[in-house]
Amino acid sequence: MKVIVYVIPKKNVLDPQGTAVGQAMKSLGYVQAKNVRVGKTIEFEIQGDDSPSFRASIDKLCYDLLSNPIIEDYRYELTD
Tens of pLDDT, residues 44-58 = 999 999 999 999 999
The mean pLDDT value for 23-45 works out to: 97
pLDDT of 74 above 90: yes
The domains of the chain, with CATH numbers, are 2-79 (3.30.1280.10)
How many CB atoms neighbour CB 79 within 10 A?
Answer: 9
What does the pLDDT read at residue 80?
A: 83
